[in-house]
Every structure is written in structure tokens, then in C-alpha cells.
Homo-oligomer: A and B are copies of this chain.
Amino acid sequence: MDARSSLQNRTPRKRRKMQRVTMMDVAKLAQVSPSTVSLYLRKPAAVSPAAGQEIARAISTLGYVPNLVAGGLAAASSKVVSIIVPSIRNAFFAETVSTLQSELAAEGLQVILGHSEYGEDQEEALVRTALAWAPAAVVLTGLSHNAETRKLLRASGVPVVEMWEIGGEPIDMAVGFSHPQVGASAARHLLSKGRRRVAFLGARMQEDHRAAKRASGFVEEARRAAEPASCEIVNHPGAATVEAGSLLLNRALQQIPDLDGIACSNDLIALGALFECQRQGIAVPDNIAVVGFGDLDFSASCIPSLTTIRPSGDLIGKEVARLILAGIHGEQPPAASRIIDTGHVLIERRST
């Protein structure tokens, strides 16, 4: 009896189905099968014009919005790219993310954003949730990640692009430039201007490995020159802000009283240093030459205009997008083009 009863008194399982217009509704209204609607949505050219019009009409009268969650599950590939940056407040990354987002949106890809605050464990957690979305690709910042993060990503089989840094072994693909070389360029420039008592002003360099690499590239180049310069690194533990720049300049002056050139890990720091010079009546570039990094919004217009190194956040974003889209379109880039050097440009202005 029990077996029978369990079949008989089965109430129609009510599921809380979100009341949403589904593809089925569209199909019914357009008098075609759901498959045809799906096909129309993915490749409109594959269905007859007549059916296409009917479907289009149905979609618009019903206000149908496809459910990408369902689609992603069925297709085993969600139309999502997960981007993890240290901080979106940082103008560098804001620029890259912005470009990347535009480029990817043009192909129907969504961007999921996470920020790690320069913490590797936080990054690991972000990667974990990122992978939970079965993303079409994961974009990370820099080449330093903890072992677990690398393992997770490798195991996932998802395309991975590391951006804003090259010069190490990427997990999969990398787009960026060499930070030691940026430091070296700054050093060479200051040396070429006859500066011999220089400093590198950076912030948060315990966590920001890329800034630290710019610093060490700077020091190395400054010291191995024909006429080497005396050289210090000054670090501010907090974020790279204008105020930090002012503080750092003062600390540098304490360490090297006859300082005649500085390179900054960020234009904001450079701007702070410029302001501090102005406050203290130090002439720029006559007494101290200043080189920044980032070529931010204000760098061309400040007083004096700032010599800086432009890393091209835009270009990085474009190249990352290109790699991702190529991968989605099934092109396997040759091993050689899996690492893209976007280079850097030193823009000489009045501050040196």
C-alpha cells in the first residue's frame, strides 16, 4: 500500500519558479519551438526571415530577457570574465578595467570585478569565487600569487591572463611591461640630467611587488652607471597618495640633504613631492628633478609639468581583451604570443 500511496498522494511539486518570461513563452507566442528561438538568439542568420520576425515580435511584446544563468549552465561556459585588481581606486587599474570592460562588452561578455587590496590570500579567495562562475577567462594583476591560487587556476583549465607585469613565468598568458626596466629608465633619465644624489619614493612596497621592482630596477641602474649616483629607496607604508608624496620628499631630504633627483612610484606621489618642493622653495627641476610614473590626468598640466613614465593602461586593457577574445573564438595563440610586452614610454616634461 505504501508504494502506491506514495505515488497517489503525490502533490504536484510546486516550485517557486521565478515568474519570468521564458524562452518557452516566446516560442509559444511565435508558434515555433524553443530550439528555434534559441537558435535565433545565437545565430539569427540560421533561421528563416519569416520565423525570425515572428520571434523578434514575440520577444518585444513579452519583454523577454534571456536568462544567462541558465544559458551558462547549459552551454558550460558563462559569458563572464572575472577581473581581479589590487584596487579599483587606483587610476592605473581603473583605466585598464574600463577599457577591458568596453572591449569585452562589445562581444557580449560581462565583467565581474574583485579587488584584492594587495593581499595574496584575499586574492585566492577571489579566484575561488571567480572560478565558481565558470568564467570564460580570469584576469589577474601581476605575476605574484600564492601557490594555491596558481594551482586552482591551472586545475580549472580556464584561460588566465596576468596583466601589468611581465618578466616571470605566467600561469597562462601575460600582458604588461617590465617594472625593473621602468625603474631603470627613470634612473637613466635622471643620470642623463646630471643628477647624482637620487632617491626612489614609493608607497606600500611590502605589498605592491611591482612598485618594489621599479624601485630595485631604479637603484640597480643608478648604481651601475659609469658615474654612479648615490641612491636611496624611501617607502611609505600607506597608500600612494599626494600626501604620502609630501611626506616622502621630506624623508628623502633627511636622508640625502643634497638630493638632486627623485623618481616616484606613482604620479600622485610625484605631485605631492612637487607641492612640497613648492612649499619649501625648492626649485624643480633646478634643485631637484622629479620623474613620476603613470602619466595621470594632471601630469601634463601641473606646475612644473611632470616628466613621467607612461605604462599605457589602455593598451594593456586592449591586449588583454584581444587575447581573451581570441581564445573564445577558438584560436590558440602560439606560445610566443602568450606574453605581450606593452612597453613603457618616458615622457619628458618640465620637471626634469
Contacts and interface: CB of A to CB of B under 8 A. Distances in A.
Contact of A155 (B17, B63, B78, B129): B63
Interface in A144-198: 151-152, 155-157
A97 B180 CA distance: 31
B129 A110 contact: yes
Contact of A298 (B98, B110, B132, B242): B242
A341 interface: no
A70 B75 CA distance: 11
Interface residues of A, number: 65
Contacts of A152: 63, 65
A266 B70 CA distance: 43
A152 B110 CA distance: 19
A290 to B, nearest CB: 15
Interface stretch (A28-36, A112-120, A214-222, A228-236): A112-120
Interface of A: 16-20, 63, 65-70, 72-73, 76-78, 80, 87-89, 91, 94-95, 97-98, 101-102, 105, 108, 110-115, 126, 128-129, 131-134, 151-152, 155-157, 241-243, 245-246, 268, 271-272, 275, 278-279, 297-298, 300-303
